[in-house]
A = this chain, B = another copy of it.
């Protein structure tokens, strides 16, 4: 299972009625926060999820609206008595940016560990997650993220019996362990009894970019594709191009072009000038039917497919 909360949906600057864009993911008690603008810690308090469980923080890029809330969030985690290390992921330069911002949060009771991205795509297995990082097209280095909760194949008891694997080892093999059998001298491997990996859960998140192939590839087969919808008004197309953002139309087209279309899509990162993004949604659903306007505090509970 993967809980998802879109903490905010604003771009550029926080507004009284709209927090800055940030996403929180939660699985097996381990949380990921993607982006942390000014006020993200307040948005988190509003939904009542603890800052203590944030094991991983990903940053798309270092414009202020995506990272200005970091010192406050770290202090909040410290106040919640976190002591375990936190893994920070972001484009090259992350360590220096975090060090600078920490001039007002110099002492933390937990360690920060840094992964700086500089490849077109990178992939990390961390806790219950697989995190796929892909470069997008903004006016400074910027990445999107797919967060996957993988799912093992089905255990095949008939195969276990046929290979004379004692019952006592089945559970460990299901957990992925390689099990030596001292009595017979044989070694049992998970692949002897487990079917191929099954479809897991995938959430793809990207903002602050022009449309690009990396996004279309990342959105493929996602349970939820959260994508920038900076402008809905077609008159803003030139502005989107100039400032390296994506319109609602362009994002819907990317979803529609994915090899396996995402199951659902949410818009986020609205321009402060767009006070009612929903006025454009019917038009967008003609391009990609399963698109909705994200709003602050919107939650989804994603589960593995039923067998």
> Which A positions have Cβ atoms within 8 angstroms of B?
12-16, 38-39, 41-42, 45-46, 62-65, 67-69, 71-72, 75-76, 79, 96-97, 100-101, 103-105
Instruction: List chain B residues, Cβ under 8 A from A104.
Output: 62-64, 67-68, 97, 101
Q: What are 12 pairs between A and B in contact, CB < 8 Å?
A: A13-B72, A13-B75, A14-B41, A14-B72, A15-B45, A16-B46, A38-B42, A38-B72, A64-B104, A67-B104, A68-B68, A101-B103
The residue in A16, A65, A69, A104 that gathers the most chain B C-beta atoms within 10 A of its C-beta is A104
Instruction: List chain B residues, Cβ under 8 A from A69.
Output: 38, 68
Q: Are B97 and A100 in contact (CB under 8 A)?
A: no
Copies of this chain in the oligomer: 2
How many Å lie between the Cα of A38 and that of B65 in the bound state?
A: 12
Q: Choose from B15, B41, B46 the contact partner of A38 (Cβ within 8 Å).
A: B41
The residue in A62, A68, A105 that gathers the most chain B C-beta atoms within 10 A of its C-beta is A68
Q: Taking CB as reference atom, which chain B residue is nearest A43?
A: B16
Instruction: List chain B residues, Cβ under 8 A from A105.
Output: 64
How many Å lie between the Cα of A68 and that of B76 in the bound state?
A: 13
Assess A79 versus B13: contact at CB under 8 Å? Given A62-B104, A97-B103, A103-B101.
yes
Instruction: List chain B residues, Cβ under 8 A from A42.
Output: 14-16, 38-39
Tell me how far the C-beta of A111 lies from the nearest C-beta in chain B, rounded to whole angstroms: 19
Q: Choose from B14, B62, B71 the contact partner of A39 (Cβ within 8 Å).
A: B14
Tell me how far the C-beta of A38 lies from the nearest C-beta in chain B, rounded to whole angstroms: 5
Q: Taking CB as reference atom, which chain B residue is nearest A12?
A: B79
Tell me how far the C-beta of A54 lies from the nearest C-beta in chain B, rounded to whole angstroms: 15
Tell me how far the C-beta of A225 lies from the nearest C-beta in chain B, rounded to whole angstroms: 27
Q: Are B64 and A72 in contact (CB under 8 A)?
A: yes
Q: Are B68 and A72 in contact (CB under 8 A)?
A: yes
Instruction: List chain B residues, Cβ under 8 A from A12.
Output: 79
Besides A13-B72, A16-B46, A38-B69, 12 other CB < 8 A contacts?
Answer: A13-B75, A13-B79, A15-B45, A38-B38, A38-B72, A39-B39, A63-B104, A67-B104, A68-B69, A96-B103, A97-B103, A100-B103
Q: Taking CB as reference atom, which chain B residue is nearest A102?
A: B100
The residue in A45, A76, A103 that gathers the most chain B C-beta atoms within 10 A of its C-beta is A103
How many Å lie between the Cα of A65 and that of B68 in the bound state?
A: 13
Instruction: List chain B residues, Cβ under 8 A from A100.
Output: 100-101, 103
Q: Choose from B45, B62, B64, B76 the contact partner of A75 (Cβ within 8 Å).
A: B64
Instruction: List chain B residues, Cβ under 8 A from A64.
Output: 71-72, 75, 104-105
Tell me how far the C-beta of A301 lies from the nearest C-beta in chain B, rounded to whole angstroms: 23
Tell me how far the C-beta of A96 lies from the nearest C-beta in chain B, rounded to whole angstroms: 7
